[in-house]
């Protein structure tokens, strides 16, 4: 990681450490922590990190933004930072300036479609859109007669049905009924919905990997503090075995997520190699979220399941992030299709290329 990437990630880490302490948030029943955190992130230019300066953003590199998402995962932040970054990135593909405030993207599922009507308005339904209720604007990828279009839409003009995901964050259904966008421009040649899903999937993979890092740290610390039968539970072989398994899942998720992020950051196009990396990362990180979360709670015993404990902030969000931008089952099928279409002789060269 370059020095500038370190600086951006370290800035994010410091803001999260100061304003997103998990224990403090857990005790705050009125969510008073959210406004100061979002203000600090905005002042640092992090929500629009992927937006060029001429479009109103910070002009950070993809690698720098991915570093911010890793940090966000380690703190399991319940604000639309990743969503706003993705929305800004999508709008920037069409040279549309990003507005201030929270944003999200639609569709957030590979199976949903938004269409452009003959009068330029947008219609369609997008399910499982993260933080749609909290967003002021939505970056929309829509298909029309002239091809794919990227649009900026005011969230208030859409019908938003509130939903709550497994992690307790908004996962809403957004319905557009002949909504006139603030701005709409053609998507770049070759851009498609799969690229948006892959970008979102890598963002979620990094967040999952970050959450697993924190779950491992919390579990190790607890095992060194909890005493049973007159000795720390970290001395028991069964607990040591579980912690080793958790460390393995965390390491695997981190390796897959960072490799995919590196592939996108250094690629000139979303080719088969990038598809392989991104799809594999979402699959592996989603598996790690399930296995790692279960192990962490097993190490903690009953206390880890209580609402007062911070562990659930990480484990439940990691599980919830599995479904955003395509589940591991969806990407496993798509990856299988890619391998089958390329043929048996092309499998090893594809894998070895990474």
Domains assigned to the chain: 1-77 (no CATH), 104-190 (2.40.110.10), 193-352 (1.20.140.10)
Confidence of residue 89 (pLDDT cuts 50, 70, 90): very high
pLDDT tens for each residue of 273-330: 999 999 999 999 999 999 999 999 999 998 888 888 999 999 999 999 999 999 999 9
Q: What is the pLDDT of residue 30?
A: 85
pLDDT above 70 covers a percentage of the chain that reads 98
Q: What is the pLDDT of residue 315?
A: 97
In 278-287, which positions are buried (b, 16+ CB within 10 angstroms) versus exposed (e)? Answer: bbbbbbbbbb
Averaged confidence pLDDT in the chain: 94
Cα(88)–Cα(308) distance, rounded to whole angstroms?
35
Predicted TM-score of the model (pTM): 0.96
Q: What is the pLDDT of residue 351?
A: 82
* Residue 178 main-chain phi, psi, to 5 deg: 55, 50
pLDDT at 354 over 80: no
Confidence of residue 122 (pLDDT cuts 50, 70, 90): very high
Confidence of residue 87 (pLDDT cuts 50, 70, 90): very high
pLDDT tens for each residue of 224-258: 999 888 899 999 999 999 999 999 999 999 999 99
Confidence of residue 347 (pLDDT cuts 50, 70, 90): confident
């Amino acid at each position: 990681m370059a020095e500038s990437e370190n600086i951006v990630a370290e800035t994010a880490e410091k803001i999260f450490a100061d304003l997103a302490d998990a224990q403090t948030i857990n005790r705050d029943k009125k969510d008073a922590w959210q406004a100061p955190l979002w203000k600090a992130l905005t002042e640092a230019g992090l929500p629009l990190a992927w937006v060029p300066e001429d479009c109103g953003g910070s002009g950070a590199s993809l690698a720098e933004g991915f570093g911010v998402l890793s940090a966000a995962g380690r703190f399991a932040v319940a604000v639309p930072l990743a969503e706003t970054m993705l929305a800004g990135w999508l709008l920037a593909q069409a040279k549309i300036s990003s507005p201030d405030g929270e944003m999200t993207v639609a569709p957030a599922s590979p199976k949903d479609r938004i269409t452009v009507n003959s009068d330029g308005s947008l219609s369609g339904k997008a399910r499982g859109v993260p933080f749609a209720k909290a967003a002021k604007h939505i970056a929309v990828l829509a298909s029309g007669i002239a091809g794919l279009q990227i649009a900026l839409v005011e969230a208030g003009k859409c019908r938003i049905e509130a939903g709550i995901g497994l992690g307790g964050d908004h996962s809403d259904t957004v319905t557009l009924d002949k909504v006139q966008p603030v701005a709409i421009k053609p998507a770049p040649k070759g851009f498609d919905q799969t690229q948006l899903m892959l970008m979102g999937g890598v963002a979620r993979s990094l967040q999952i990997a970050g959450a697993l890092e924190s779950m491992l740290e919390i579990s190790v610390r607890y095992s060194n503090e909890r005493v049973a039968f007159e000795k720390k539970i970290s001395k028991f072989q069964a607990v040591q075995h579980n912690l080793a398994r958790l460390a393995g899942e965390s390491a695997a998720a981190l390796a897959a997520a960072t490799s995919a992020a590196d592939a996108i950051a250094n690629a000139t196009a979303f080719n088969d190699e990038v598809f392989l990396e991104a799809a594999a990362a979402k699959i592996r990180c989603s598996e790690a979220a399930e296995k790692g979360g279960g192990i962490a709670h097993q190490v903690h015993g009953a206390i880890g399941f209580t609402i007062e404990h911070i562990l659930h902030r990480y484990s439940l969000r990691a599980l919830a992030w599995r479904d955003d931008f395509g589940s591991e089952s969806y990407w496993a099928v798509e990856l299988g299709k890619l391998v089958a279409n390329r043929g048996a002789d092309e499998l090893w060269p594809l894998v070895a290329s990474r």
